[in-house]
Amino acid sequence: MERDRRVETTSEQETMEAGREFAAGLHEGDVVLLSGVLGAGKTAFVRGLAEGLGAAPSDVSSPTFTILQEYRGRITLQHADLYRLTAVEAEDLGLDDLIDRAVLAVEWPDRWASAPLDAIAVTIESLGGDRRVIRYSTR
């Protein structure tokens, strides 16, 4: 999978499609760190990831209040949102323990100080309206 690239989308559906296509190259143990401002499209991207991994995209919602959600497909997707947590609280979640048996997608990863060095960084930036630029890179 080409992990260092840039994609532009013009709708929420296209952002989901970008996530679905990206998921095709993921395996258990992969960690995806999702960055972007509130409303950038991180959860829409995760809906696509879920679909690409065989889970129902309609089940995906932002885990801002639940912090961690699991979606089962051909590969399990663990979806964490660290927005409301401090770095200490994020470490206490034990995200490291989830890595080997799932794909782990983490929103607001700046709060996870011990994120794996081989994680894939996905940055979503709004260009106004429904336009987004999604950048993928390995750390």
Question: How confident is the model over 16-41, as pLDDT tens digits?
Answer: 999 999 999 999 999 999 999 988 99
Q: Write down the CATH number for the domain with range 5-138.
A: 3.40.50.300
Q: Are 90 and 64 in contact (CB under 8 A)?
A: no
Banded pLDDT at 139 (limits 50, 70, 90): low
Tell me what pLDDT residue 1 has: 46
Return the closest-CA partner of residue 127 out of 50, 15, 48.
15
- The reported pTM is 0.89
The number of beta carbons lying within 10 Å of the beta carbon of residue 46 is 29
Checking if the pLDDT of 3 tops 60, the result is no
- The rounded mean pLDDT for the chain is 91
